[in-house]
Amino acid sequence: MPPEIRVTLPDGSEKRVPAGSTGADLAKAIGPGLAKAALAVRVNGNVWDLTRPLPDGAKLTILTDKDPQALEVLRHSSAHVLATAVRQLFPHAKIGFGPPIEDGFYYDFEVERPFGPEDLEAIEKQMVEVVKADYPFVREEVDRREAKRRFKDDPLKLERIDDLGPDEVISVYTDGSFVDLCRGPHVPSTGRIKHFKLLHAAGAYWRGDERRQMLQRIYGTAWFTKDDLEGYLRRLEEAKKRDHRVLGKQLDLFSIQENVGPGLVFWHPKGAMIQHQLRRFIEDTILRSCSCARGTSRCTRRTSSHRWLRGRESRNPCAIG
């Protein structure tokens, strides 16, 4: 009899499956409906691809499109589909990072010129082809030397490999002709990504560091159903109409003068009136319970004996002089 492993399902029941079984095998053993719907598997709290052999004694949940974590996987895979399409159209594009984000995903590329709207259109069309081809996402674990060989033409990836600790597992994912250095997990194949749209492109510094080169970041969104996608796009449209920077100008509420300094708000009279009303509201209702409203100095000696300027992250103060 072949060796077996035991796994625990979400309802607490135990299941025996042959050693070496994957999430996909388990889903199939539970039922054909689940096998079809399965996108990934949660193993002891971590999300894995369906193709990895399961460990003995694991607590497992098969993820379908009902699970919010599966949506994150879908979006991550969508980022790979985007990069696959970009590489097909722009073979010299160098790849940076491509994570899922709230409501969607992005991917950073180093290219000779910024992407325009017509590029995005062409890339989106190419993505449809990648989806149609239904390439499986194949995971491999490789050693450092092999990883460097695979990404020899991708300096950004090489830099990333150099940053990985000596004990870190290096995994790569392949779909069609595209290979990415990636932790995963991914949906079983590109064909699972059906409802997506590219939104816009913007410059982004490599690793968010303004001393490094500017990459081109393409943003997109992906959902499990057409309704979800359309609903999201409607909300985006609505959000655009409400953009406070646009309304702030139209209603003459505030401005930001880049030459004076970014991030410093100029309150115009009408905006200042709103601020004034909010202050009155605070003073009339909220501060009633406080002993006093205080006014403390706006600046301090740099070499203050109080160590309060240290010890809080991301609060680096602005120096004068």
List residues near other proteins by CB under 8 A: 204-205, 208, 210, 235, 238-239, 241-245, 247-248, 250-251, 253-254, 256, 261-265, 269-271, 273-275, 277-279, 281-282, 285-287, 289-303, 306-309, 311-312, 314-321
| Least separation in angstroms between CB 268 and other proteins | 9
Q: Which is nearer to other proteins, 145 or 315 (CB)?
A: 315
Q: What are phi and psi of 208, to 5 degrees?
A: 65, 15
Minimal distance in Å, beta carbon 285 to other proteins?
Answer: 6
Residue 233 CB partners (closer than 8 Å, separation 6+): 197, 221
Cα–Cα distance for residue pair 72/223, rounded to 1 Å: 10
The CB-of-108 to other proteins minimum distance in angstroms stands at 13
Number of neighbouring beta carbons within 10 Å of residue 6: 11
Judged by beta carbon, residue 13 or residue 289, the one nearer other proteins is 289
Nearest distance from residue 223's CB to other proteins, in Å? 15
Q: Which two tokens stand for residue 108?
A: 């950073």
| Distances from the Cα of 311 to the Cα of 26, 61, 286, 302, angstroms | 49, 41, 30, 15
| 100 three-class SS | strand
User: CB of residue 277 vs other proteins: minimum separation in angstroms?
Assistant: 5
Nearer to other proteins, 164 or 287 (CB): 287
Contacts of 184 (CB under 8 A, 6+ apart): 48, 49, 76, 137, 139, 171, 173
Q: 124 Cβ partners below 8 Å, 6+ apart? A: 85, 197, 198
Report the residue number, 89 or 265, with the smaller CB distance to other proteins.
265
Q: How far is the CB of 98 from other proteins (least distance, A)?
A: 18
Nearer to other proteins, 19 or 274 (CB): 274
H-helix or E-strand spanning residue 130:
helix 117-133
Instruction: Identify which of residues 59 and 281 has a Cβ nearer to other proteins in the complex.
Output: 281
Smallest gap, in angstroms, from Cβ of residue 100 to other proteins? Answer: 17
Of the two residues 259 and 296, which places its CB atom closer to other proteins in the complex? 296
Cα separation, 78 vs 105, in Å, equals 7
What is the radius of gyration, based on Cα positions, of the chain? Answer: 26
- Which long-range contacts link 63-71 to residues 24+ away (Cβ below 8 Å)? 63/38, 63/39, 64/34, 64/37, 64/38, 64/39, 65/37, 65/39, 65/224, 65/225, 67/42, 69/40, 69/42, 70/39, 70/40, 70/224, 71/223, 71/224
In angstroms, give the least distance from the CB of 316 to other proteins.
5
Is the Cβ of residue 115 or residue 254 nearer to other proteins in the bound state? 254
Closest CA to 89 of 59, 56, 45, 119: 119
Based on CB atoms, which residue is closest to other proteins, 113 or 242?
242
Least distance CB 269 / other proteins (angstroms): 7
